[in-house]
């Protein structure tokens, strides 16, 4: 089975800017994905600040819950 997408659980993304541990976990996942030519999906990107941090780390695909609606 080939895996080409890694999904990061929203619990890591929600605390990305407040927790250095969560930031390091997400950064490591993104680095691994780049080394393996994989895409990363980041769940619950709920603010412009988190969106920018996720994009900077290399998570290109963002999923968000805003006002009860899911955006991809």
Domains of the chain: which residue ranges? 5-71
Yes or no: say if 59 and 8 are a contact pair by the CB < 8 Å rule: yes
Give the C-alpha separation, 72 to 62, whole Å: 6
| 46 has a pLDDT exceeding 90 | no
Average pLDDT of span 9-19: 93
Confidence of residue 47 (pLDDT cuts 50, 70, 90): confident
| 1 has a pLDDT exceeding 70 | yes
Helix 48-57 to helix 20-35 angle (10° resolution) is: 40
Which of residues 60 and 2 earns the better pLDDT score? 2
User: Mean pLDDT for the chain?
Assistant: 84
For tokens 């603010």, what's the residue?
47
Helices H / strands E in the chain, number of each: 3, 5
């Amino acid at each position: 089975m080939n895996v080409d997408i890694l999904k990061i659980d929203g619990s890591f993304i929600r605390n990305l800017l407040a927790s250095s541990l969560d930031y390091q976990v997400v950064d490591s996942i993104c680095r691994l994905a780049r080394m393996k030519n994989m895409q990363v999906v980041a769940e619950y990107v709920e603010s412009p600040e988190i969106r920018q941090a996720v994009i900077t780390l290399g998570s290109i695909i963002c999923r968000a819950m805003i006002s009860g609606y899911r955006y991809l």
